[in-house]
A and B are shown apart, each in its own frame.
Chain A
Amino acid sequence: MNKEPKKVTSPKRMSKTELEAVYMSEHHDNASLMNYLKEQHDKKYRRKKDAPPFVEPKGQVKNEDEILVKLRDVRIAFKRGNTERVVIEHLNLDIKKGEILGLVGESGSGKTTIGRAIIRINPVSGGVIAYNNIPISGKINRTLERAIKTKIQMVFQDPSASLNERANVDYIVSEGLRAFHLYENEEDRLNKVTEMLEKVGLMPEHLKRYPHEFSGGQRQRIGIARCMIMGPELVIADEPISALDVSIRAQVLNLIKQFQQENNMTVLFIAHDLSVVRYISDRIAVINSGKIVELCDANRLFEAPLHPYTKALLSAVPIPDPRIESKKKIVVYSPDMHHYTEDDMPDFYEIEPNHFVRANKEELERYKKDLEVLNKYNEQMKEELKSKKDTKKGGGKK
């Protein structure tokens, strides 16, 4: 009897299309995701008498179809010996398809941790991160993990630390292609790499050079090329411009935005400077010590900042004008500003459509009043600007 040899397909040998097929094979929706969370909840409180009832955590985007990544009830903690440091708890966040979501906060606020958790560098110790409603956090099967890796890519902060100093540009950029067999032959691979290099503004002759031969801006371009060559659906940009010179920042920002528009990518843009994020992002989430304190459309956040921490961040943006800068008042935020009590704990409220703010009931009332005042102020500003423009036009004609 001639038995046919059993075909073994380890996920490592599967091509991207095969991986995609595995990835698409199971049906997932919000209900199945909530089921997954409920199971987790039940497991946690098994054999405990006073288990709290399971409450479905909710995100900020109402239309289910728009959401690409869901973070639900996420908890991230770091262990050192017997002590556990909780960085993030009860975090709910939605990332829409095709948007650039800015995530802003100071160092230590957990913004990078969130980005790294999505790409599975940092493990999640509770809750779930779902990609198209498929849980991708915690223990998942290896095929799925590989499939996900082709879809999510990352651009790192420090271009000199994140590139392999001993590999040339050709190797660095095509490493992902090799790992997932995304090319037919050597020629095809080389074509892909040179094409990508040209797209990010580098020359084909740079292929055989090493990272130390490039300037900071060019190195960050290599980092971006390495990320984009995989054709990712989601890019996590972790402070990609913080380590760069101001004059080069604009180049890199434009480059990321251009890629996003061309390929309809989704970007999670992490930064600590609000002025940068405003230009690039569609929505902005402000995060402070592991909690999202305000989430809103980018322009609206600048028009109507409500949370004191957002105001502090805004006032810290340096304005390149000596006269204005000398008059500027700095808003200082301290967590003691809030008077949270046991029976008046803060929650994440939608204060106006698509504008969320973390507040307790007393603060919510106050913010509502602030919002009215801000609206009045903005209207007046707009009118002033208009009248200024009109007078300018009139003056020109005369």
Chain B
Amino acid sequence: MENEKETVISVRNLNVKFLSHGKKVHVIRDVSLDVYKGETLAIVGESGSGKSVFTKTFTGMLDANGYIDGGSVIIDGVDVSKFKKSKEWYGIRGKKIATIFQDPMTSLNPLLSIGYQISEVLRIHHGLSKKEAKEEAIKLLERVKIPNARKRYDDYPFQYSGGMRQRVVIAIALACRPEILICDEPTTALDVTVQTQILDLIKELQQEYNWTIIFITHDLGVVAKVADRIAVMYGGQIVEVGTAEDVFYRPAHPYTWALLSSLPQLGSKEEPLLYIKGNPPTFGDEIIGDAFAPRNEYAMRIDYILDPPMTKISDTHSAKTWLLDKNAPKVKKPSIIRNLRERMEIAAKELQKELGDYYE
């Protein structure tokens, strides 16, 4: 089973640093990860955990003061971390990997019509004529379910609602027919109702085009909806990686426990919501030992001294915590995590009432 999976992106011991005010800031610390063909990988983490920076190395879109300092990113047998000129990226950006950003307004040009922005891509990448490009663009707009696509072809971004703008960005990504799609918090700026529509659309298109999707988000609700595999990031490292079932039903890292237990969906009126105390490390602080230790209730003395190793739990599941070490004391998971499934089921029953049998 494991061998059948085809690796499309393989990251080994990647380190990314930023130069800021003459200081070197270590943002991605020794991250290794494989992305398999056709899967949806969700990268979960708080803002500042380095999740966006990590995926930006795949397309060479690091900010000017950032650079890769050791490690490799292999896409299709080519180590892209060694690329120096922007020309070298042409075969990858857009063609192989497309990115959808959080705020559609920043990725669309407000001065150009929606139709122009889509057909431009088609003309440059596929060499279509203006007329052909227009027809193709309208098809794409229809594909992402924009009503009256022909009529709205000449509209400008400000005339579209937030959800529709995000659809347009997806259409532009579609135009290049990429194999890998990076979604950088595509629904954070949207309403919950629109969010579900966009997620459904992305899933639908994934099945049609057999995309590999890397989904960056901080919302575990969204992750549950889309992800096959989940990587949890904290302080520039991946602290837990596994299939969606692994991470949701058998979480092993204290940070994942904390993330899962602070969801407002689980809160009840009687008790205050659980939350993670303290603040995430800011880059520039030197991190010794486990980055999460200062906020971790289960931290041991070794957490402050030595960086824990990535420990394998099963074939698909591993976590980076000293708790999994054979010398570590046995810790009981917080009760909210142990009852998580039960709580979810109660919440689900409340939200999804199946009333069919109750009507006579």
Contacts and interface: CB of A to CB of B under 8 A. Distances in A.
Interface of A: 106-108, 215-218, 245-251, 253-254, 257-258, 272-276, 278-279, 298-299, 302-303, 312-326, 328-330, 333, 373-374, 376-377, 381, 385
Interface in B218-269: 218-225, 227, 244-245, 248, 258-260, 262-265, 267-269
Contacts of B245: 322-323
Interface in B337-359: 340-341, 344-353, 355, 358-359
Contact of A381 (B220, B269, B349): B349
Q: Which of A247, A273, A278, A330 counts the most chain B CB atoms within 10 A? A: A247
A246 B262 contact: yes
A218 B265 contact: no
A320 to B, nearest CB: 4
Given A318-B221, A330-B200, A272 B191 contact: yes
A272 B187 CA distance: 13
Nearest to A274: B192
Contacts of B276: 247, 250-251
Contacts, number: 152
A215 B358 contact: no
A365 to B, nearest CB: 14
Given A247-B218, A254-B275, A316 B192 contact: yes
B194 interface: yes
B352 A328 contact: yes
Contacts of A302: 350-351
Given A315-B351, A377-B355, A273 B275 contact: no
Contacts of B193: 106, 312-313, 316, 333
B66 interface: no
A217 B263 contact: no
B247 to A, nearest CB: 9
Contacts of A218: 279
A246 B332 CA distance: 24
Contact of B273 (A108, A253, A313): A253
B263 to A, nearest CB: 6
Nearest to B200: A330
Contacts of A377: 353, 355, 358
B248 A321 contact: yes
Given A250-B264, A254-B275, A279-B264, A245 B348 contact: no
Contact of A106 (B191, B224, B273, B347): B191
A314 B349 CA distance: 11
B282 interface: yes
Contacts of B48: 215
Contacts of A326: 225
Interface string B314-348: 00000000000000000000000000110011111
Contact of A279 (B192, B273, B359): B273
